[in-house]
Structure 1
Amino acid sequence: MADQEIDYSTLPLTERVVHKIWKVRLGAYEEITKQFTTSGSENDLCFRPFLSDPTLYKKIVTDSNVAAQEAGIGSLVAFLQYGGTNACQKLRGTVVAPLVEKGLVSMRAGTKQKTVDALLYFIELDAPDPVVDEILPILSNKLPKLVAGTTMSLREIIKAFGTKTVPPKGIVKALPKLFAHSDKSVRAEATNLAIELYKWMGDALKAVLLPDLKPVQQKELEEAFDSVKGTVPQQERFLLSQQQAAAAANGNGASGELASPEEEEEIDPMDLVEAVDVSGKIPGDFYERMASAKWKDRKEAVDDLLKLTSVPKISDADFNELMRALGKCILKDANVAVVTTAANCVETLAKGLRNSCGKYRSIISASLFERLKEKKQSVSEALGAALDALFEASSLSDFLEDILSFMKHKNPQVKQETALFLVRSLRSVRTIPKSAEIKQLCDACTVLLADTAKPVRSAGAEAMGTLMKMIGERAMTPYISDLDDIRKNMITEFCETATVRAKPEKVAAPPPPAVAAKAPTQARGVVRSRPSAAGAKRQSGTPTISSGKIVEPSSSSRIAAPGAHTSRIGMSNGLRKKTEDPASAASPRVVRTSSATSGTPPRSTSGRGLTGVSLSSSASTSGHGGLSAADKLELIELRRAKEEWLSSNAALQQQVDTLQAETTKLTREVADLQLNNAQLIEEHTRDMLSVQSKETQLTRIRGEADNARAQISKLQRELDRARAESQLVGRQSASSPNGIDSRDAKEHSQSSLQARQSSTIRTSDEEKENEFGRVQPSAAKRASVYSGSQLPKPGSFSPQSDGTDGRISNAGSVESWKRAAEVTSQLKARIEAMKARQLRR
């Protein structure tokens, strides 16, 4: 009971809006709404507490009581409506996000509607970008109800202001995530938002949105888009800046209605897509793999590049080296799979770079046209698609030189595909080519009409038919008048079925000839200046009424108009002179007017016309519209100057065309030289590898020769040792006693020889292991053996132990020498055989 008796209305308003009792807050909200509504201006005192402390309205819109919250959001709408731009800017950064998070999830329809109204006021009073930037992050919230409500608010914003006021880029970018949401209500609101965007953006939305959706969703959206196709949406609300501009226009006498903003150009889908940096992601070994001798390595390289460039939009960078590598691959690679994928890479690069790809046309176009000789359909289609993508980034004038050149190619397939490319290009251009370009194309197509291959003739006729559709049958007549009826009928048939988008270029209308109208008059009411050229033209063939008489216009009036249109300057000077000299400016109409004014009737004498003017005078002035001699001379000079200017202009145009042709030719030569340079570098690398291989082989052969020399030296040492052994045996035989059997001495010498040979073999093995490190000691040992300082010491026999005189018979000495000679000859034969084997190796 005590609480009910408390009067909370005595509390300050700033305390009541944050009071713990919801009814107190509700009453405070209603009171401030009334104050805002009845305020005198935006600077009223009722706005100040909330402008100085924006957090108050953050607490108001997030009120825990649903009734108080609805009243609080209603007070926010009134605050924005009557507080103006200052109120919007002060509260926007603090209030928008809490307002969306708490107001759009309310169970009350009124709270939701007032939340949307507040958001629309936030946009209307200043700009849409800050508000949309605050709303878009809420689409990632985990609460489906909040995401659906936020999507609905975006749809209302687009519906009220349109995509020409609210930039749709961020909203379109968030749509695929909304369509992939698990909640059904979110997907339904996303569909409604997409339909509203389609009304404003048209097919541009399809190109950006549909590729990221599931096939079922694509089908549903296509049907929904078809149901609203052709609907012209109207902007329902306007920004304050737009309203002020309209008010200023109304103050200047414009229409009283609020006009919508001027029509802008059609929305480009690529403006809604972020560009991808492709140049920095190209693999480091890409160019090495492209130059590999294995086709699989080249195929993998272009496959990787195709995956990298298959993006809607590519940021501009330096792609000169990449385009040259692709051009070389397309022109010279023998594997059609590699060529097809390389052409696909060129297509994706051209579509991604768009207009920025035009500067690479001269590098790649010649290779694409040259490879059109490939008869496989898949390769021709890939090359044609790449050329079409390059054409979208350039113009017909840029491709004209290549088209005319390759339409004269010796290969019929190249001529046919080039003509078909020309047909596709003519269908896509938006402006009619120049007369000189049309003549060059018609002359080249006329040559194709006489080709021996039927597909080439058909392609040439189709190209001329498309040109006829573009410029008209009358303009095409000079180019087909010399053709037979069969070819004319072919061209006419293609013309009937052709579709073109080109329109003639708009020519600026000449300004009205107002110079003559400003000529001063003389004797106001008595003598008036002659009518202007435009007036004379309008009056030609119409009788002139003056002073109650009808006067037929003289021939001078009918001739004056073309002269005036030819040179306004000359006519202006002439009119000024005639005005200064009334005698020279006397025309039939002037004389008649003056006579009528003076009251003296014209005399009817011979040689005078109905107007009283001498016929000879009229005849003398009829040649140049009544111009004086100076005017005639000036007119002749101007005509001569015009003819000279036209002739010089034609000469300059011819020089420009010649320079353009030379530039194109030089560009093509540069491209060819670059390709030849790359080929020479490749051949030089191959030669260097071959030289290195031969040097390796030469080093190996030299090592083998050194080994052979070492083996020969070894065998030579064995031969010398054998000779020494034979001499030793001879000495032992000569020094053996008479009582000892010569056979025992022979056996003893043979065993000694075998022992020495085994010792020699061991020594040679050790020398081989130590790389001939002990050659000199072994040689010294052998020298001592040869000199007889070390003799064999058999254990059981000594030739000098018996005390004999050491004499031997002559027969035994001869036999020992024969045996030594045989051994020596055998060793020599073995050495020769080994030398021969080494030489054969």
Structure 2
Amino acid sequence: MADQEEDYSSLPLQDRATHKIWKVRLAAYEEITKQFTTSASENDPCFRPFLSDPALFKKIVTDSNVAAQEVGITSLVACLQYGGPNACQRLRGTVVTPLAEKGLVSMRAGTRQKTIDALLYFIELDTPDPVIEELIPILSNKLPKLVTGTIIALREIVKSFGTKTVGPKSIVKALPKLFAHPDKNVRAEATNLTVELYKWMGDAIKAGLLPDLKPVQQKELEEEFESVKGSVPQQVRFLHSQQQAASQGHSVGSGAVEQEDEDEIDPMDFIEAVDIFGKIPGDFYERMGSVKWKDRKEAVDDLFKVVSVPKLADADFTELMRVLAKCVAKDANVAVVTVAANCVEAIAKGLRAGFAKYKNIVFTSLLERLKEKKQSVAEALGTALDAVFASTTFSDILEDVLEFMKHKNPQVKQETTIFLVRCLRTVKIIPKPSEIKLMCDACTVLLADTAKPVRSAAAEAMGTIMKMIGERAMTPYIDGLDDIRKNMIKEFFETATVKAKPEKVPPPSAQAPKAGGARVPSGAPRPRSSAVGVKRATSTTPNTSSGRPTPGSEPPAPPTVAHSRLAPPGARTSRVGAGSTGVLRKKDDHSSSPRTTSTSSTPPRSTSSRGLTGVSLSTSASLSTSHSGLSAAEKAELAELRRGREELVSSAATLKQQVDALQADNLKLSQAMAELQLSNKQLIEDHTRDVLAIKAKETQLARARSEADDARAQIGILQRDLDIAKAAAAAPSAPSATISRGDEIVARDLNDGINNVSPVPRTKSESILSEDEKENGFSAPTMSRSAGAHLSRSSSRTGSFSPISSGTVDTSDIGSGNAGSVESWRRAAEVTSQLKARIEAMKARQIRR
């Protein structure tokens, strides 16, 4: 009771705010709220103790007493509301997490609502990202009530600011885990948050969420999406920077979500990228180089399975794209070409803008292969071209497209022109006038083509261009055409649909400064110097109390150096004097300018009261509202400076275009050189492989020839044996099979020797044997009938043939009265020994073989 009656008002406010008695703390919180509400400005001293020690507010928002906690969070809301961005930035890192963990689970609805209000102020006064980063980890808390409260807070944040202000990527990534939470309240609030995100994002949320949910949950969400489809959410709270921009006259939008805003949300941002290079088969490149089309088809099929993912991790795809480009351009099998084109499409869609650096490798190969008339191949090539175009810009593909519109193949011309039409329908910014002219000139040529499909495609392209730029701007390009072609173009013009809009020109505040000053961000204080670099004297400016120029008091002249003629390239500008008023003076190699030398007899003008054109600063202050105070010479000078500036800007733009063109050419040449080097390396490898193969074939051929010679020799021997056997079988006086080949030859030689002694005509069988021996290189003498008869009788008695018996020779059998019989037998014996030697030599040669 004594504690309740004791007066604690004499204690310092900070001590009362941390007092052990909750009522003292509650009274202190109420007093703090009152001080913040009645403060004079954001820099009021009442904010200083709490901003210098953010831990004090951490204790306030986590007060153990629920009544005091609610009042304490109310004081935090007042601090943020009246303390501005400075209070937000000082307290955010210390207060947000404990505020959410203690305030969002409170039993009091007022406390929970005040907590959400404080979180909204933390976002409004600066940026939403730090607050979202503090809240996302709380979604993994084990306390379902805290997770539910955090989801509700996130839904209120999205509902108030929209996904254009609050990045939804981290929130969408956390949703699948919430839908798998065991608590039904968490799942129900996750559904409500998802529906709120769908209102702002549309179907873009489905790509990053639905694949991870159960089929039942997908069906429920689809039903919820249908119930809110078509609703237009409104942004009800704006960031401090957006409010400042609105106060300066820049529109921040009505809050309605337009179709363009939906397109800015990329569904791919919510999908994890996949690294495919670890999944490509190791023998992919080897199979792609196979001579069998089935091997190549299997290789591209395997690759297509790997690359068919929504998002690919960025890596070096150069070698892979070269292989696919070579396959598309040169493969003879259309099935392989079709799947290769599908692989290019999948990689382009998976890499998106990252595929632009590979465009030069594969784009012309796709265009060249448009000569295929098979519908399935044409569709695959067309979708691949569309995917490549989506990864780059219209200007990047236009040169190649215009070149292939001149192709000698009508099919290529037709399909390339149809591809151009598809590009014109989907491009979002109207092409440059120079590009429009190039396209119209190319289409005009095709309108006179002999093939009707080519003429129709060209007319459709020109009709689409007319839809894009208007009939009036198209008049110069169709003026010289006949009525038939004009009517064709207008028919396509009436049915064409385009998305292109003129390129947005940034507002003057967002453009580069015209006087060499720094670019001023939206909402920042405006510079105190004028656009021509002349700082107004504070004595002549209307707003002398603040020292700031009044709005609209800047002169419109943009030049940085106000002389009667442009400064030479080597000229420099600098401020004159440490205490000068900001006058810029030309400073070059000469000691004085022509203007100063021509007026050397006149008193020098004071830089503090005269500008560069000789007009007093008080007069220049009024130039922004009217030019009536300028003389004719000054107006001419101003106009000349403006013309000079425009010429410089134009020259700079031209030089930039030339530099970009040269860089693009250099890049193309580098890529071409790399491709040629790769081709050269491949050719060298192919040549080496071919040389080795030829040498192997030559070795095999030589071996085969040697084996063929051996076979022919063996065949000759076998043929001779066969002929001898046939001759022996045909001879009537020959024994059946007991006479060997060698004995047969000896017998013939003996016959020849005996015939020399007694020349008697041969029998038929002897003639056959003689002819056979002549083929084998023998010239045996003939044998007489009596000697042959004697030999036959001798062989029949002994069972084998022997020209000379082991006993004495009976000369009476040879013939009586023949004086040379002994000599003849001697000669026969010599011939027999020679024949035996030859037979042995032949046998030895056969054995060696």
Residue in structure 1 matched with residue 264 of structure 2 by the alignment: 267
CA offsets, 1:711-733, max 9 Å, x none?
9xxxxxxxxxxxxxxxxxxxxxx
1:154 aligned to 2:154? yes
Residue in structure 2 matched with residue 617 of structure 1 by the alignment: none
Residue in structure 2 matched with residue 135 of structure 1 by the alignment: 135
Shift of residue 490, structure 1, vs aligned partner: 2.4
Shift of residue 458, structure 1, vs aligned partner: 2.4
Structure 2 CA distance for aligned equivalents of residues 217 and 466 of structure 1: 44
User: Taking structure 1 as reference, are residues 363 and 437 closer, same or farther at Cα in structure 2, changes over 3 Å only?
Assistant: same
Residue in structure 2 matched with residue 491 of structure 1 by the alignment: 489
Residue in structure 2 matched with residue 683 of structure 1 by the alignment: 686
Structure 2 CA distance for aligned equivalents of residues 495 and 329 of structure 1: 38
1:196 aligned to 2:196? yes
Residue in structure 1 matched with residue 70 of structure 2 by the alignment: 74
Write out aligned runs for 1:210-289 (5 A).
Answer: 210=210, 212=212, 221=221, 224-225=224-225, 227=228, 229=230, 231-236=232-237, 238=239, 267-269=264-266, 270-271=268-269, 285-289=283-287
Shift of residue 91, structure 1, vs aligned partner: 7.0
Residue in structure 1 matched with residue 412 of structure 2 by the alignment: 414
Structure 1 residue runs without a partner (length 5+): 511-567, 571-627, 712-807
Structure 1 CA distance for aligned equivalents of residues 54 and 360 of structure 2: 65
Structure 2 CA distance for aligned equivalents of residues 126 and 663 of structure 1: 45
Residue in structure 1 matched with residue 187 of structure 2 by the alignment: 187
Contact between 1:33 and 1:75, CA under 8 Å: does it hold in 2?
yes
Structure 2 CA distance for aligned equivalents of residues 33 and 666 of structure 1: 73
Residue in structure 2 matched with residue 331 of structure 1 by the alignment: 329
User: Taking structure 1 as reference, are residues 499 and 52 closer, same or farther at Cα in structure 2, changes over 3 Å only?
Assistant: closer
Structure 1 CA distance for aligned equivalents of residues 123 and 695 of structure 2: 75
Structure 2 CA distance for aligned equivalents of residues 823 and 145 of structure 1: 121
Shift of residue 495, structure 1, vs aligned partner: 1.0
CA offsets, 1:605-645, max 9 Å, x none?
xxxxxxxxxxxxxxxxxxxxxxx9x9xxx9xx99xx99x99
Q: In terms of mean alpha carbon deviation, does 278-287 or 366-375 score higher?
A: 278-287
Structure 2 CA distance for aligned equivalents of residues 261 and 317 of structure 1: 39
Q: 1:370 aligns with which of 368, 371, 379?
A: 368
CA offsets, 1:116-167, max 9 Å, x none?
3454455456654333223212323455544333222211222234334433
Contact between 2:199 and 2:232, CA under 8 Å: does it hold in 1?
yes
Shift of residue 186, structure 1, vs aligned partner: 3.1
Structure 2 CA distance for aligned equivalents of residues 258 and 427 of structure 1: 27
- Residue type of the alignment partner of 1:690: A
Structure 1 CA distance for aligned equivalents of residues 31 and 309 of structure 2: 57
Residue in structure 2 matched with residue 345 of structure 1 by the alignment: 343
Contact between 1:328 and 1:367, CA under 8 Å: does it hold in 2?
yes
Q: 2:386 aligns with which of 385, 388, 391?
A: 388
CA offsets, 1:586-618, max 9 Å, x none?
xxxxxxxxxxxxxxxxxxxxxxxxxxxxxxxxx
Any idea what SS the aligned residue of 2:173 has?
helix
- Residue type of the alignment partner of 2:349: K
Q: How many pairs align?
A: 605
Shift of residue 369, structure 1, vs aligned partner: 0.6
- Residue type of the alignment partner of 1:491: I
Contact between 2:123 and 2:239, CA under 8 Å: does it hold in 1?
no
State percent identity of aligned pairs: 60
Taking structure 1 as the reference length, what is the TM-score of the superposition? 0.57
User: Taking structure 1 as reference, are residues 242 and 459 closer, same or farther at Cα in structure 2, changes over 3 Å only?
Assistant: closer
Shift of residue 413, structure 1, vs aligned partner: 2.4
Residue in structure 1 matched with residue 319 of structure 2 by the alignment: 321
Any idea what SS the aligned residue of 2:174 has?
helix
Shift of residue 234, structure 1, vs aligned partner: 1.9
Structure 1 CA distance for aligned equivalents of residues 406 and 462 of structure 2: 16
Structure 2 CA distance for aligned equivalents of residues 339 and 185 of structure 1: 53
Residue in structure 2 matched with residue 51 of structure 1 by the alignment: 55
Contact between 1:199 and 1:231, CA under 8 Å: does it hold in 2?
yes
Any idea what SS the aligned residue of 1:500 has?
coil
Structure 2 CA distance for aligned equivalents of residues 182 and 820 of structure 1: 117
Structure 2 CA distance for aligned equivalents of residues 417 and 301 of structure 1: 28
Any idea what SS the aligned residue of 2:500 has?
coil
The structure with the largest helix share of the pair is 1
- Residue type of the alignment partner of 2:74: A
Shift of residue 383, structure 1, vs aligned partner: 1.2
User: Taking structure 1 as reference, are residues 451 and 38 closer, same or farther at Cα in structure 2, changes over 3 Å only?
Assistant: closer
Residue in structure 1 matched with residue 466 of structure 2 by the alignment: 468
User: Taking structure 1 as reference, are residues 73 and 404 closer, same or farther at Cα in structure 2, changes over 3 Å only?
Assistant: same
Write out aligned runs for 1:682-721 (5 A).
Answer: 683-691=686-694, 693-694=696-697, 697=700
User: Taking structure 1 as reference, are residues 16 and 831 closer, same or farther at Cα in structure 2, changes over 3 Å only?
Assistant: farther
Residue in structure 1 matched with residue 29 of structure 2 by the alignment: 33
Structure 2 CA distance for aligned equivalents of residues 834 and 437 of structure 1: 90
Structure 2 residue runs without a partner (length 5+): 37-44, 509-562, 566-631, 715-805, 811-824
- Residue type of the alignment partner of 1:457: R
Structure 2 CA distance for aligned equivalents of residues 148 and 508 of structure 1: 43
List, as ranges, runs of 4+ consecutive aligned residues in structure 1 with deviation greater than 6 Å: 8-19, 44-50, 85-91, 257-266, 506-510, 647-669, 698-705, 808-823
Structure 2 CA distance for aligned equivalents of residues 177 and 377 of structure 1: 45
Contact between 1:468 and 1:495, CA under 8 Å: does it hold in 2?
yes
Shift of residue 329, structure 1, vs aligned partner: 1.2
Contact between 1:320 and 1:360, CA under 8 Å: does it hold in 2?
yes
Structure 2 CA distance for aligned equivalents of residues 408 and 89 of structure 1: 62
Shift of residue 684, structure 1, vs aligned partner: 2.0
- Residue type of the alignment partner of 1:163: T
Any idea what SS the aligned residue of 2:26 has?
helix
Write out aligned runs for 1:777-816 (5 A).
Answer: none
Residue in structure 1 matched with residue 771 of structure 2 by the alignment: none
- Residue type of the alignment partner of 1:449: L
Structure 2 CA distance for aligned equivalents of residues 104 and 652 of structure 1: 60
Any idea what SS the aligned residue of 2:264 has?
coil
Structure 2 CA distance for aligned equivalents of residues 188 and 507 of structure 1: 45
Structure 2 CA distance for aligned equivalents of residues 123 and 466 of structure 1: 46
Residue in structure 1 matched with residue 173 of structure 2 by the alignment: 173
Residue in structure 2 matched with residue 546 of structure 1 by the alignment: none
Contact between 1:77 and 1:117, CA under 8 Å: does it hold in 2?
no
Shift of residue 365, structure 1, vs aligned partner: 1.2
Contact between 2:235 and 2:254, CA under 8 Å: does it hold in 1?
no
Structure 2 CA distance for aligned equivalents of residues 649 and 412 of structure 1: 41
Shift of residue 354, structure 1, vs aligned partner: 3.1
Structure 2 CA distance for aligned equivalents of residues 373 and 667 of structure 1: 28
Contact between 1:39 and 1:46, CA under 8 Å: does it hold in 2?
no
User: Taking structure 1 as reference, are residues 151 and 318 closer, same or farther at Cα in structure 2, changes over 3 Å only?
Assistant: same
Write out aligned runs for 1:565-644 (5 A).
Answer: none
User: Taking structure 1 as reference, are residues 299 and 72 closer, same or farther at Cα in structure 2, changes over 3 Å only?
Assistant: farther
Shift of residue 367, structure 1, vs aligned partner: 0.4
CA offsets, 1:794-834, max 9 Å, x none?
xxxxxxxxxxxxxx988899999999877755554445556
Taking structure 2 as the reference length, what is the TM-score of the superposition? 0.57
Contact between 1:302 and 1:338, CA under 8 Å: does it hold in 2?
yes
Contact between 1:351 and 1:389, CA under 8 Å: does it hold in 2?
yes
Any idea what SS the aligned residue of 1:409 has?
coil
